[in-house]
Amino acid sequence: MSFKLLGLSEPLLKAISKKGYETPSPIQAKAIPPVLDGYDVLASAQTGTGKTAGFTLPMLHILSETKKEKFRPIRALVLTPTRELAAQVYANVREYSEFLNIRSAVIFGGVNQKPQAANIRKGVDVLVATPGRLLDLQSQGLLSLKRVEIFVLDEADRMLDMGFLRDIERVMKLMPDKRQNLMFSATFSKDIKKLAFNILKNPVQVEATPENTAVEAISQKVYRVAKGLKTGLVIKLISEGNWQQVLVFTRTKHGANKLTKKMISAGITAAAIHGNKSQGARTKALKGFKDGSIRVMVATDIAARGLDIPLLPHVINYEIPNISEDYVHRIGRTGRAGAKGEAISLVSADETVYLKAIQKLIGEKLPVEIIEGFEPDPNASTEPIKPGQGRNNRRGQSQNRKPKTDRKKADGNSSRSNNRNKSRSRNRNRRSNN
Ligand code: ADP
Ligand code: MG
């Protein structure tokens, strides 16, 4: 299979080869033809499988085929859940459209809206946006979605997790009824199917990998350890293994900050990345992590979602997630593009139930090891971590909740980011009753 056979135009093929891609990934091979044919498409494939190009390439192909008007209305809208992801998708749009007469822009919250609005006023064909900032600019009359022909919902599962359902519905009302809709998602839950039913018309459904399976190129391992010894163990693994690029997941923002401080004290360059960090701090951390000046990035699930960090050799779950699907997303950060990766989970007694749930989801038992000096605590309770102790603190959540008028600041921020776990649907209901 080649990109040429998929029917993409010469300028796109040129950009693809400049990017160094030789063959389409499975999800690209499956999604590109129906998108080019004008169908609504629902595509699911694991994180890191090239979904971005799966919608961007055919979208650009379609947009470039029609003659441009003097003023460029927004003809394609890509919605993404987080700022980082918006920036990444936009970077891809830019690269792939290098040899086309296509203008694009990106907007997200947390930064000054003026340059964004000025950019759009000049006329853009493709707009990549997070929902909050998009609705904000629209309500100020700074952009119109009335001419949108192609609507893409990227990382649809995470959109729902972050409580963006209502915003998505509002955005849909601002676009013409007659348009092409594309939905891309890493997982394929009941909620996703329901959303797809509302957004897509007679969709073609494509799927690249079996749902919820971990990639084989990743070697996975569990260290059973006492809760209080986890920090010491992480530091030991990273220093003794001389690991140079490690992504560490914690369950809470507070936990991420605390661990980052301990790492730095131990002489390991580290940075935390989560929803409470400013946009500048997050961009800086990610840049440092990519260029190797920061060895360890400590992240919460939401912050790490969709980050494109190629060839990441090590992922450590400082705490394992209580939502099993998150485990698959986390380890999807490693072993990308054919490179082998290692995913390590530190599991204390109170996480035993979550470990079992993860093993059930991925359909395999993970090998368990114990390291001398970092043994599990035989007296520790196996009661699962209480909701009050983690990001699922519902009381804390409502206290943190941003008032509605403050929506532009809320993109990818804690008030939305915390809507996880079993209380998900309750939260959603509450939002929609607001
Ligand atoms: P997803 O959205 O599925 O998580 P991305 O679109 O972020 O995945 O792509 C993951 C990585 O794979 C990126 O670094 C991207 O440049 C690379 N990639 C995408 N398509 C191809 C391809 N056909 N060949 C090689 N690498 C690719
Ligand atoms: Mg993606």
Residue type, position 102, single letter: I
* Neighbouring residues of 330: CB distance < 8 A, sequence distance ≥ 6: 249, 301, 304, 315, 317, 321, 343
- Range scoring the smallest mean pLDDT among 166-180, 269-283, 368-382, 389-403: 389-403
Q: Tell me if 88 is assigned to some domain.
A: yes
Does ligand 1 come within 6 angstroms of the Cβ of 187? no
Averaged over 12-24, what is the pLDDT? 94
Residue 214 pLDDT exceeds 80:
no
Q: Which ligand is nearest to the CA of 85?
A: 2
Residue type, position 73, single letter: P
Averaged over 183-206, what is the pLDDT? 88
| In contact, 343 and 275? CB cutoff 8 Å | no
Q: Tell me if 357 is assigned to some domain.
A: yes
* Whether 362 and 311 share a structural domain: yes
Q: Which of 369, 391, 426 is the last residue of a domain?
A: 369
Q: Tell me if 394 is assigned to some domain.
A: no
Q: Which of 180, 207, 234 is the last residue of a domain?
A: 207
Q: How far apart are CA 73 and CA 71, in angstroms?
A: 6
Rg of the Cα atoms in the chain: 22
CB-side exposure of 429: number of CA atoms within 13 Å?
A: 5
Q: Which of 207, 241, 273 is the last residue of a domain?
A: 207
Q: How far apart are CA 112 and CA 12, in angstroms?
A: 32
φ, ψ at 378 (rounded to 5°): -65, -20
Neighbours of 247 (CB within 10 A): 25
Number of domains, the chain: 2
Written as one string, the DSSP assignment of 85-141 is: HHHHHHHHHHHHTTTSS--EEEE-TTS-SHHHHHHHHT--SEEEE-HHHHHHHHHTT
* pLDDT value of residue 389: 46
| In contact, 150 and 78? CB cutoff 8 Å | no
**Confidence at 386, pLDDT banded by 50, 70, 90:** low
**Which numbered atom of ligand 1 lies nearest the CA of 45?**
3
Averaged over 238-248, what is the pLDDT? 91
Beta bridge partners of residue 222, listed in sequence order: 345, 368
Read off the CATH number of the domain in which 112 is found. 3.40.50.300
Ligand 1 binding pocket mutation candidate from 4, 25, 187, 290 (most atoms within 8 A of CB): 25
* Whether 26 and 118 share a structural domain: yes
CB-side exposure of 97: number of CA atoms within 13 Å?
A: 24
Q: Is the pTM of this model over 0.75?
A: no
* Neighbouring residues of 280: CB distance < 8 A, sequence distance ≥ 6: none
Q: Tell me if 379 is assigned to some domain.
A: no
* Whether 255 and 198 share a structural domain: no
Residue 403 pLDDT exceeds 60:
no
- Report the percentage of the chain scoring pLDDT > 70: 84
Q: Which domain covers residue 141, as residue numbers?
A: 4-207
Does ligand 1 come within 6 angstroms of the Cβ of 185? no
Q: Tell me if 120 is assigned to some domain.
A: yes
